[in-house]
Chains A and B, each alone.
Chain A
Amino acid sequence: MPAYKRLLLIAALALSAGQTVAQPSTASRAVYSADGLYNLANSYARAGRLGLAVLSYERAALLAPGDADINANLAYARARAHVSIAPQSWYAHLVETISPTLAAWLGAVGIVSVGMGLVVLRITTQSRWLGRTAIALGVVQISLAACHALLLWPRMQEAVVLVDRADAHAAPASMADTLFVLREAQSVRMAGAYGTFILIRTVGGLSGWVARADIGAVAPTAGRER
């Protein structure tokens, strides 16, 4: 079989496989919208419920990281709650310039690009520059997506305190000693769970068990709102 026919066949197979696998996600029911979450967060902020406001802004920022309104109101709500945040690093700013969805598709296209480039190099000695260019481009795209995912991964474990004050206990029991107290709208990192308690870590490195109802996960898994 001629080389170009092989390439066409492989491309057609890859395309059909992609469509088959992608169908469930496109058919799933849409629930969130960045603007809807932003408006909800505004409602909470006006009602003085800053924990819920910050949580909703954080969720909106996950869907639209570069949105200036979301980021401005998030900073505003945190300031009102007197919650300090760590200054953003340069790579966090980089993450905000690309939407997660775009980064994901870049990664997928990168996989195809690398694969096709390798196949081209294997089956022909002509136009080897084409194969090498495709591989280089694909590697860059995959690296970009992987870096994006790595940088965003910590936010998947992030949670926001929703109540006035949340006691962090030494053990996952309400009667256990209180180690420290978290304030509303404070961001923490979830490190584990036991029953109705979540093991959290603060930005300052403190750890303790907090009641699950007192915090809300920024990126809840499907079917769990809080």
Chain B
Amino acid sequence: MSVTVLSLALLLGARPGMAGSWGGLPYDGLPDGAYLQAGGTAYFWLGIPARTVYIGEAVPVEIEVGIRQGLPATLKGLPLLKGGDFTLNKLDKRADTRKTYIQGRFFDVLSWHTALAAVKPGEFSLSAGMPLSVKTGTSRTAARDIVIESAPLRVHVLALPVDGRPRAFSGAVGDFQISSDISAVSVKQGEPLTLRLHVRGTGNFARVAPTMFDHLEHWKTYPAKSVFTPRDAVGNRGEEVIEQSLIATEPGEQWIPGIDFSYFNPGKRRYEHTQTRPIRVSVVASLRARAPIRAASQVAVAAASAATVLPGLRPDHRRPVATHGELRPLYFHGPFLALCTALTLLLSAAWIGARPNPARTSSKATARALARLKLAAQAGDSLPFFELARKTLLQTFAARWQMSAEEITGAELRARLGLAGENIERLFAAEDETRYAGGASPGTDLQYWLSIIRGQLAVGSR
């Protein structure tokens, strides 16, 4: 018995104890769908998580072979898929081994984890076989080759949809994310750069073939190389790095366009498109390229090539002249709107804070009142003269002393104007007398009063 186990381990380079336990002898039983063959001495089981898959979709597969302990059998190779409808990833020769207990017998179990992919659409039967050699007698040649097979599985393979298939789709199926970087963003003309595209995710990386640049204006391109680093045992998850060497042929600010990558996401059942950001590279002219004649010829060549590729397209601009932090116009920027708001508030505060000069504001009205007083004096109309004089003086004093006209009393006039205040009191008294006399005021010198009024108003306007 131990000889058989030893022979299996030696043949396959098995790693004992990866699953289960040799000491505890757990009872695992047969996997679902497996059945004992060769007189109940072996079984072969093929397990996949989904029965409906898309072409190219990487489907994780578990393969398990169980051989009853004591059976003098050796493996004659690795498990093989039957038919050509599916492709199986390369199997590791080092299978995981464990021991299990089935129907009262111990079995040595070998298992592999890998992935398969369908190559054409339709309804298929998926099965695999495992060649064994079983000793039938005591002589060395007494052996019989048998093949144990898995139970067939019905798998429905869907074609990738035609509608919505992006132009950049190259067959990748899975769920991926991409990013790009470059070895340097500032180089001399003629120096090589390495543009790297990182494709990370889960799926069939064998079909990941993003288009790098066959031709790039102002750049010399070289064939791309890719390296895949798996993140799991199956190779279904990992990162593929595609590197391409580029050499700038033109000095100045050059742009490497973003790289498109489209894939079909079987989980979402749709195509997805993603793109890396364009990369700006500053290319410094080499000494040779700075020679005017050479530069002129390069310009001519570049213009000619551009014209050849796309007649009608105007040529590139030689030197970027302005830079902007954002594409949105300045008046949609927060800081600029804040500036305008601050200016508005500041000027509003200034407008509110700046008090108009009351004397100046009323200067025109005063001039008009004086003109009317002069006319009344010349006409000898005493009552209108005095009424207007009183009104004008009170308004002027009220504005000058920041108080209401009703608050201005005789005492206030004397206190503020002194002797002139007494004259104003007499003027107001003359108005009262004229009013009581029915408007007649013979012998009153209106020109005298007019000069007093002028004097008071002139004080205010100075």
- B-contacting residues, A188-226, CB 8 Å: 213-214, 218-222, 225-226
Contact with B along A1-38 (1 / 0, CB 8 A): 00000100010011001100110110011111111101
The answer to whether B356 and A112 touch across the interface, beta carbons within 8 angstroms, is no
The answer to whether B313 and A40 touch across the interface, beta carbons within 8 angstroms, is no
- In the complex, which range does the number of interface residues on chain B fall in? 35 or more
Given the interface contacts A25-B336, A111-B347, does A104 sit within 8 Å of B330 by beta carbon?
yes
Contact with B along A132-157 (1 / 0, CB 8 A): 00000000000001001100100010
- For the complex, give the distance between the alpha carbons of A62 and B322 in Å: 13
Q: How far is the CB of A127 from chain B (nearest CB, A)?
A: 12
Given the interface contacts A30-B324, A47-B257, A122-B354, does A36 sit within 8 Å of B280 by beta carbon?
yes
What are the residues of chain A within 8 A of B310 when measuring CB–CB? 45-46
The chain A residue with its CB closest to the CB of B213 is A47
Given the interface contacts A119-B354, A213-B274, does A164 sit within 8 Å of B323 by beta carbon?
no
Given the interface contacts A30-B325, A104-B331, does A35 sit within 8 Å of B319 by beta carbon?
yes
Given the interface contacts A21-B339, A42-B316, A46-B313, does A156 sit within 8 Å of B324 by beta carbon?
no
Q: Is the interface of A mostly helix, strand, loop or mixed?
A: helix
- Indicate whether B343 reaches chain A with its CB closer than 8 angstroms: yes
- Indicate whether A185 reaches chain B with its CB closer than 8 angstroms: no
- For the complex, give the distance between the alpha carbons of A52 and B276 in Å: 12
- Indicate whether A59 reaches chain B with its CB closer than 8 angstroms: yes
Q: How far is the CB of B257 from chain A (nearest CB, A)?
A: 5
The answer to whether A39 and B331 touch across the interface, beta carbons within 8 angstroms, is no
The answer to whether B346 and A125 touch across the interface, beta carbons within 8 angstroms, is no
- For the complex, give the distance between the alpha carbons of A163 and B169 in Å: 11
- Indicate whether B179 reaches chain A with its CB closer than 8 angstroms: no
- Indicate whether A72 reaches chain B with its CB closer than 8 angstroms: yes
Q: Which of A32, A165, A221 contacts B324 (CB 8 A)?
A: A32
Given the interface contacts A18-B339, A39-B317, A125-B363, does A164 sit within 8 Å of B166 by beta carbon?
yes
- Indicate whether B38 reaches chain A with its CB closer than 8 angstroms: no
The chain A residue with its CB closest to the CB of B214 is A47
Q: How far is the CB of B140 from chain A (nearest CB, A)?
A: 64
Q: How far is the CB of A222 from chain B (nearest CB, A)?
A: 6
What are the residues of chain B within 8 A of A17 when measuring CB–CB? 339, 342-343, 346
The chain B residue with its CB closest to the CB of A166 is B164
- Indicate whether B277 reaches chain A with its CB closer than 8 angstroms: yes
What are the residues of chain B within 8 A of A73 when measuring CB–CB? 313-314
- Indicate whether B216 reaches chain A with its CB closer than 8 angstroms: yes
Q: How far is the CB of B220 from chain A (nearest CB, A)?
A: 15
The answer to whether A213 and B314 touch across the interface, beta carbons within 8 angstroms, is no
The answer to whether B313 and A101 touch across the interface, beta carbons within 8 angstroms, is no
- Indicate whether A170 reaches chain B with its CB closer than 8 angstroms: no
The answer to whether B347 and A10 touch across the interface, beta carbons within 8 angstroms, is yes
- Indicate whether A76 reaches chain B with its CB closer than 8 angstroms: yes
What are the residues of chain B within 8 A of A174 when measuring CB–CB? 268-270
Q: How far is the CB of A5 from chain B (nearest CB, A)?
A: 12
What are the residues of chain A within 8 A of B215 when measuring CB–CB? 47
- Indicate whether A159 reaches chain B with its CB closer than 8 angstroms: no
- Indicate whether A160 reaches chain B with its CB closer than 8 angstroms: no
- Indicate whether A103 reaches chain B with its CB closer than 8 angstroms: yes
Q: How far is the CB of B212 from chain A (nearest CB, A)?
A: 12
What are the residues of chain B within 8 A of A100 when measuring CB–CB? 329-331
The chain B residue with its CB closest to the CB of A34 is B322
- Indicate whether A49 reaches chain B with its CB closer than 8 angstroms: yes
The answer to whether A49 and B260 touch across the interface, beta carbons within 8 angstroms, is yes
Given the interface contacts A10-B347, A123-B356, does A31 sit within 8 Å of B316 by beta carbon?
no
The answer to whether B268 and A118 touch across the interface, beta carbons within 8 angstroms, is no
The answer to whether B336 and A42 touch across the interface, beta carbons within 8 angstroms, is no
Contact with A along B304-342 (1 / 0, CB 8 A): 001001101111110111111111111111011011101
What are the residues of chain B within 8 A of A177 when measuring CB–CB? none
- Indicate whether B278 reaches chain A with its CB closer than 8 angstroms: yes
What are the residues of chain A within 8 A of B361 when measuring CB–CB? 125
What are the residues of chain B within 8 A of A81 when measuring CB–CB? none
The answer to whether B331 and A145 touch across the interface, beta carbons within 8 angstroms, is yes
The answer to whether B322 and A42 touch across the interface, beta carbons within 8 angstroms, is no
- Indicate whether A44 reaches chain B with its CB closer than 8 angstroms: yes
- For the complex, give the distance between the alpha carbons of A91 and B381 in Å: 66
Q: Which of B306, B327, B332, B360 contacts A63 (CB 8 A)?
A: B327
- Indicate whether B2 reaches chain A with its CB closer than 8 angstroms: no
The answer to whether B255 and A31 touch across the interface, beta carbons within 8 angstroms, is no
The answer to whether B167 and A25 touch across the interface, beta carbons within 8 angstroms, is no
Q: Which of B278, B313, B330, B354 contacts A105 (CB 8 A)?
A: B330
The chain A residue with its CB closest to the CB of B333 is A25
Given the interface contacts A45-B313, A104-B336, A122-B356, does A35 sit within 8 Å of B321 by beta carbon?
yes
What are the residues of chain A within 8 A of B280 when measuring CB–CB? 36
The answer to whether A35 and B317 touch across the interface, beta carbons within 8 angstroms, is yes
The answer to whether B257 and A40 touch across the interface, beta carbons within 8 angstroms, is yes
- For the complex, give the distance between the alpha carbons of A39 and B363 in Å: 67
- For the complex, give the distance between the alpha carbons of A133 and B356 in Å: 20
The answer to whether B335 and A25 touch across the interface, beta carbons within 8 angstroms, is yes
Q: Which of B257, B327, B346 contacts A62 (CB 8 A)?
A: B327
- B-contacting residues, A69-86, CB 8 Å: 69, 72-73, 76
What are the residues of chain B within 8 A of A18 when measuring CB–CB? 339, 342-343
- For the complex, give the distance between the alpha carbons of A162 and B167 in Å: 11
- Indicate whether B272 reaches chain A with its CB closer than 8 angstroms: yes
- Indicate whether B348 reaches chain A with its CB closer than 8 angstroms: yes
- Indicate whether A108 reaches chain B with its CB closer than 8 angstroms: yes
The answer to whether A108 and B343 touch across the interface, beta carbons within 8 angstroms, is yes
The chain B residue with its CB closest to the CB of A167 is B164
- Indicate whether A43 reaches chain B with its CB closer than 8 angstroms: yes
Known: A33-B321, A220-B327. 10 other contacts (CB 8 A): A31-B323, A32-B324, A35-B317, A45-B313, A76-B312, A101-B330, A116-B347, A122-B351, A125-B357, A163-B273
Q: Could you name 6 residue pairs across A and B whose Cβ atoms are closer than 8 Å?
A: A21-B335, A40-B255, A45-B310, A73-B314, A164-B166, A167-B164
The 7 closest A-B pairs by CB, nearest first: A115-B347, A100-B329, A30-B323, A104-B330, A35-B320, A33-B320, A35-B317
